[in-house]
Amino acid sequence: IHMEGSKKCDSRGALIVLEGLDRCGKTSQCSRLLSSLEKSGHAVESWRFPDRNTGVGQMISSYLANDSHLDDRAIHLLFSANRWEKRSLMESKLRSGTTLIVDRYSFSGVAFSSAKGLDMEWCKAPEIGLLAPDLVVYLEISPEQAAERGGYGGERYEKLEFQKRVAESYKTLRDATWKIIDATLPIEDVEKQLREIVMESVLTCGEGKPLSELWP
Ligand code: DGP
Ligand code: NA
Ligand code: NA
């Protein structure tokens, strides 16, 4: 009992990030994953970026709804600030043993802004020092198939031509550590694959893997 107790102190939650094009199914997979982990007794929370509940988040939301115009670099920095304002809470949650499932993170920041033509290295700079995910899962779908799913909500980026450029940016950005899941598979199959990949990462972090920062 004593051994187990001391082991628990070193263990932390995993930072799990889901990325993909709009309409790839990320958001429903995040909630399925959340309830599945909760059911098996894990301390887990589901987060998303942009977090529209903060002051910065409201500016982002109004930009996405085309209710306001902002310079490409200015909005890029707001998305980044929105992640920075949650950084210390993120760290304390992870250190206290809570796993975080995060719907979009710095990779969206770089993929969406570089799709507008901004330099990728410039886009990466403001993300330096944010917590590095333990796992990035990319839900892969072609822009055409995503568009066919319908239900683009009419927000600023939800247009086929733009999503094609975002897909190219993600290709440049991703590395060998990313796990790719075919997002066109039946929803239950995606869920099963995702859970398996995530459980591996949760176990590794439970064994005391140190936290690190972007960009690795
Ligand atoms: P969502 O709430 O996941 O649908 O995201 C809203 C939109 O904002 C979506 O088209 C993806 C885009 N987005 C998410 N994060 C960032 C970011 O950091 N920078 C930029 N430019 N766009 C982002
Ligand atoms: Na969206
Ligand atoms: Na989404």
* pLDDT-based confidence at residue 1 (cuts at 50, 70, 90): very low
Euclidean distance between CA atoms 124 and 54, whole angstroms: 22
Q: Is 168 helix (H, G, I), strand (E, B) or coil?
A: helix
Q: Is 46 helix (H, G, I), strand (E, B) or coil?
A: strand
For range 24-37, the mean pLDDT:
97
- In a mutational test of the pocket of ligand 1, which residue from 118, 157, 160, 163 has the highest number of ligand atoms less than 8 Å from its CB? 157
Let me know how long the chain is: 216
Name the strand (E) or helix (H) holding 96: none
Residue of the nearest CA to atom 2 in ligand 1? 50
Give pLDDT, residue 127: 99
Give pLDDT, residue 185: 98
Model pLDDT for residues 138-181, shown as the tens digit of each residue: 999 999 999 999 878 889 999 999 999 999 999 999 999 999 99
Model pLDDT for residues 84-126, shown as the tens digit of each residue: 999 999 999 999 999 999 999 999 999 999 999 999 999 999 9
pTM of the model as a whole: 0.95
With a pLDDT cut of 70, the percent of the chain lying above it is: 95
| Helices H / strands E in the chain, number of each | 10, 5
Ligand nearest to the CA of 166: 1
